[in-house]
Chain A
Amino acid sequence: MADYHWPPAEKRSLIGKRISRIDGPWKSSGRAKYTFDINRPGLLYGKMLMSPHAHAKIVSIDTSAAEKMPGVKGVQLMLQPDDEVLWVGQEILALAAETEEQSRDAVRAVKITYDPLPFFSREAAPDKAGAANTKVTSEVTAGDPDTAFKQADVVHEGTYGVPVITHCCLESHGQAMEWDGDQLRYWASTQGVSTLSGDLSTALGKQGITVPPGNIEVITPVMGGGFGSKFPIDTWGIACAQLAKKTGRAVKMLLERDHELMVAGARPSMHAKVRVAATKDGTLTAWESETWGTGGTGAGGAPPLPYVIIPANRRTSYTNVLTNMGPIRAWRAPNHPQMCVLTLCALDDLSDKLGMDPVDFLKKNLNLTTNGRAQDYAAELDIASQLMDWKTKYHPRGDKSAGHIKRGVGVSLHTWGGGGGPSNCQCVINPDGSVTVSLGTQDLGVGTRTVVTIVAAETLGLPLEGVTANIGDSKYPASGPSGGSTTVGGVSSATRRAATNALNELLAKVAPSLNATPDQLEAVGGKIQVIADPSRNIDWKAACAKLAGTPITATGSRQARNDDLISSGVGGVQMAEVSVDIETGIVKVEKMVAVQDVGLVMDLKTAESQVYGALIMGVTYALYEEKLMDAQTGICLNPNMEFYKLAGINDVGELVVHMMTGPGYDERGPIGIGEPPTVSPGAVLSNAVANAIGVRVPELPLTPANVLAALNASAPSKA
């Protein structure tokens, strides 16, 4: 009998190879149908009215004129008179009309009166935000920081910060819905195909619409980006279902770009005053940080600082600043990119004060890592140094060469947990030899469909074309939402088990014809063969023909977050080289190197793509991204793609990715990779800029304004 364990390297024909994504042709031919692309007979277009106030009480809502507008078929209040709105862009009502233009017109015809209330929308330090807008949520002391700071040879103090940024998914949030009697089809741009049915059923129940989860089919064959922001049904999901119900028509309602940037994604900010101490040999001895950040009107979680390198003596506090901004959502590796900036930039400054190369400083302190990856970090620092040519490019802080273009390099490291999320898989082997594996998981563009196909085909000894992966529909066995880099672990474990269980049934069927017992057989290269004598074999199709008309249907489930096929906990090291024009403040990324471990790589091509993508997303948040709020009006000033700038192809420089594979990594099983490589870019680019220009730019993004301000602050007075 085949067992579940991953095959050894020499027996893998698909796992770990460079395999093109299975749904690639569907996407690059423009034929992939996203939620935004759904057209149904009689489709109505939904639009929402958003609050123009950052805080107000709704006094009255008059929809009478809107209801009479051409094409309008239904209006749905999402808030009622006397309700309060808490941020600009909060949804108040939705309506559906025959065309998008008509629905936009009708929204403008709604009359709402508000009683404006005081609000606070500026990202300000707690002492400037005022007691009413702040809440201390965490104060932790460990060891004896006061003594450690007194005894230290070198102490560094600095401030660091990362602003609120937004997800800016290219496919905006939203859905299309269509009732068919008591059944509801729900095309959703979601990261949680198997969880939305239950969530929507519950929410609609509260609105007086009874529909059991089993009657709601969530359909997401492809989706246009989530990055952590697309787990909930959201207010628009509920309103869309209500509009579809009351109009008896299919309704599609995707957020407009401004709405998307205002409310549908926000990574909490994090700023800190940091004090760090070391002995003169470069041993980190103490950490102290006063951290604050805003997560909108709700409380963000207190970050466990410092990050990765954790001395025994430390004191940390966290203050949540409440602001009337849109709600926070998880963003790739929640809290990690911010914590990484606060910690690795402070340590970089400390190593500068010590007169140490920061790579040497990190190596010196790897024994302070608590995630068990110290040896990996050491190896990764060496590989990254080679790929960057660090020893040649590194210089003490401040490029002393002539001219206004200064070059510098930086280093950072990071960690992430991962582990497999819940997942169930059904594998069917048909008498004609065709195979399907079905899971209620989703592919956010990371390659889930491809990984599932690889695992099933490898297990059954078939080529990729021999397996059809069905995902992206809640009718398939439930799998967890895609968050926290848990998808590849979950679906790999479930698919491996389901395919192995199905194979074992097939082996039992064909064993007599090969004069063997099932445990003497294996499935390799499109055949079932006797392990000890491969000349005794039967072609896959012929083997399946023995099923005599009855398909094999087997299931498999991920057993635990770290079951015997999967694990969690990865490390990674990144380096960056930048050039900075000290006259204009413009930062140019010359080169970035990412060295990353993720356990057993399932598809090297798409895994590398994830890392390249993380670096590029990292360049974007390090150099450009900031959700700008106007303090006087509470309005987001850049809810568009001209002024909320994403890095373009000319902005990213040379990117080098190195995946740690082989012994020491493979046996850990697959671990997700969406989060970890996205953590370090902020710190590594900030450190490279500091190395180039000789001073720290304390706040991301590294815009010309922030770079010039840092240079000016450090310039000797002209008086």
Chain B
Amino acid sequence: MPKPDEPNGRDPNDRPDKKRLGRRDFVKMVGGTGVAVSAAGALIGEALLPRKAAAEAAPAVAAPGKVMGPAAVPITLHINGEDKNLTVEPRVTLLDALRDRLDITGAKRVCDRGTCGACTVIIDKKAVYSCTVLAIDAAASGAQIETIESLAPEGQLHPLSQAFVDNDGQQCGFCTPGFVMAAKAYLDEHPHPTYDEAKAALGGNLCRCGTYMGVRRAVVQAGGGTVPGQGGA
């Protein structure tokens, strides 16, 4: 059985920022809930892995004294200052709840297992991979969730988003919302990063087109710093 301080046995009142999910914890959680294991991956896995592994995995998300699911349950998420009511199965990630249930699609699903950062949102002031958080946990903990849609009203542009435009910190743009939110969380705590410090904000996000030069300059610009000329690094 999971220990109480492990994510799949944790107190629903334990807010996500108190115990951030490590990748290893996440993998354990996945083993128990099936979240983020693709259908085909599971099929292949079944063919290769002993059944025992699945049998030993933890049971579905269970808070002490309160069992949710496996059927869909009503929850309320606090997103961008509004309460959103929805009904999801306990295994649904916050990312999929945002995208598929609420049509809040700025956060992107790419790796779906806590590696690439494309799904980054801010929960209680911390940058969080929303693919590693269960929607029911985010609801139970009363988390305040900020998505990129909250940065500026329709038709306006947040200065950080503007900095990404000015410095061409985006190409296909699919990773961009994750970068913007990771940078936002960083800047909220470190408002004036140097060019070197800006890298620290962005190590948890991956881009395939190769926009890191512009992204880094954008973060410095948004922090009011001096952006090096062409070719600086």
A contacts, CB < 8 Å to B: 20-21, 23-34, 36-37, 39, 45, 47-50, 52, 88-89, 99-101, 103-105, 107-108, 168-172, 222-225, 227, 256-259, 387, 444-447, 591, 605-606, 608-610, 612-617, 633, 635, 640-642, 646, 648-650, 652-657
Contact = CB atoms under 8 A, between A and B. Distances in A.
Most chain-B CB neighbours within 10 Å: which of A27, A101, A446, A657?
A27
B151 A49 contact: no
Given A29-B158, A168-B208, A648-B206, A108 B42 contact: yes
A30 B160 CA distance: 12
Contact of B115 (A27, A258, A612, A642): A642
A224 B173 contact: yes
Given A104-B39, A107-B40, A608 B230 contact: yes
A652 B41 CA distance: 32
Contact of B116 (A25, A29, A641, A653): A641
Given A30-B180, A257-B111, A640-B115, A171 B174 contact: yes
Interface stretch (B4-12, B14-22, B91-99, B186-194): B91-99
Interface centre among A89, A605, A642, A649 (most CB of B within 10 A): A649
Given A36-B109, A609-B214, A101 B157 contact: no
B103 interface: yes
B211 A613 contact: yes
A50 B175 contact: no
Contacts of A37: 99, 105, 108
A21 B172 contact: no
A28 B233 contact: no
A89 B149 CA distance: 36
Contacts of B214: 609, 612
Contacts of B47: 52
A521 to B, nearest CB: 35
Contacts of B85: none
Interface in B204-233: 205-216, 230-233
Contacts of A104: 34, 38-39, 42
Interface stretch (B57-65, B136-144, B161-169): B161-169
Interchain residue pairs A-B with the least CB separation, the first 3 = A30-B106, A445-B172, A616-B210
A240 to B, nearest CB: 16
Given A170-B174, A609-B168, A89 B118 contact: no
Given A25-B161, A28-B161, A28-B170, A89 B40 contact: yes
A609 B165 contact: no
A389 to B, nearest CB: 13
Contact of A170 (B23, B44, B110, B166): B110
Contacts of A650: 199, 203
Contacts of B211: 609, 612-613, 616
Contacts of B231: 387, 654-657
Contact of A52 (B43, B103, B110, B169): B43
Contacts of A45: 100
Interface of B: 23, 34, 38-44, 47-48, 89, 91-92, 96, 99-100, 103, 105-113, 115-116, 118, 147-149, 151-152, 154, 157-158, 160-162, 164-166, 168-177, 180, 199, 202-203, 205-216, 230-233
Contacts of B164: 24, 27-28
A633 B45 CA distance: 12
A297 B198 CA distance: 45
Given A170-B116, A617-B208, A640-B115, A32 B168 contact: no
Contact of A24 (B42, B99, B168): B168
A223 B216 contact: no
Given A52-B44, A227-B208, 11 more contacts: A20-B168, A24-B164, A29-B152, A30-B177, A50-B44, A103-B39, A104-B42, A105-B39, A172-B110, A617-B208, A648-B203
Nearest to A48: B40
A30 B149 CA distance: 6
Contacts of A652: 210, 212
A649 B111 contact: no
Nearest to A19: B168
A107 B39 contact: yes
Given A608-B230, A612-B210, A655-B231, A170 B118 contact: yes
A657 B116 CA distance: 26
Contacts of A49: 39-40, 43
The interface centre, meaning the residue of A32, A222, A444 with most chain B CB atoms within 10 A of its CB, is A32
Given A24-B165, A605-B168, A641-B115, A29 B151 contact: yes
A36 B118 CA distance: 13
Contacts of A47: 38-40
A615 B165 contact: no
Given A257-B112, A612-B213, A633-B48, A21 B100 contact: no
A103 B89 CA distance: 13
Contact of B105 (A23, A24, A39, A640): A39
A90 B180 CA distance: 36
Contacts of B157: 25, 28-29
A445 B168 CA distance: 11
Given A28-B173, A37-B99, A609-B171, A101 B41 contact: no
A50 B96 contact: no
Which of A37, A172, A608, A654 has the most chain B CB within a 10 Å cutoff? A37
30 contacts: A20-B168, A21-B168, A26-B173, A27-B164, A28-B180, A29-B148, A30-B105, A30-B151, A37-B108, A39-B100, A45-B100, A49-B43, A168-B208, A171-B108, A256-B38, A257-B111, A605-B168, A606-B168, A608-B230, A612-B212, A612-B213, A616-B211, A640-B115, A641-B115, A648-B202, A648-B212, A650-B203, A652-B210, A656-B231, A657-B231
Contacts of B111: 257, 640-642
B191 to A, nearest CB: 19
Nearest to B168: A609
B68 to A, nearest CB: 14
Contacts of B233: 591, 653-655
Contacts of B212: 612, 616, 648-649, 652
Contact of A256 (B23, B112, B116, B149): B112
Max chain B C-beta neighbours (<10 A), residue from A20, A609, A652 = A609
Contacts of B91: 101
Nearest to B111: A641
A27 B210 CA distance: 16
Could you say which of B151, B180, B209, B213 has the most chain A C-beta atoms within 10 Å of its C-beta?
B209
Given A101-B91, A225-B208, A646-B208, A258 B38 contact: yes
A225 B210 contact: no
Contacts of A648: 202-203, 205-206, 212
A617 B210 CA distance: 6
Contacts of B99: 37
A21 B96 CA distance: 30
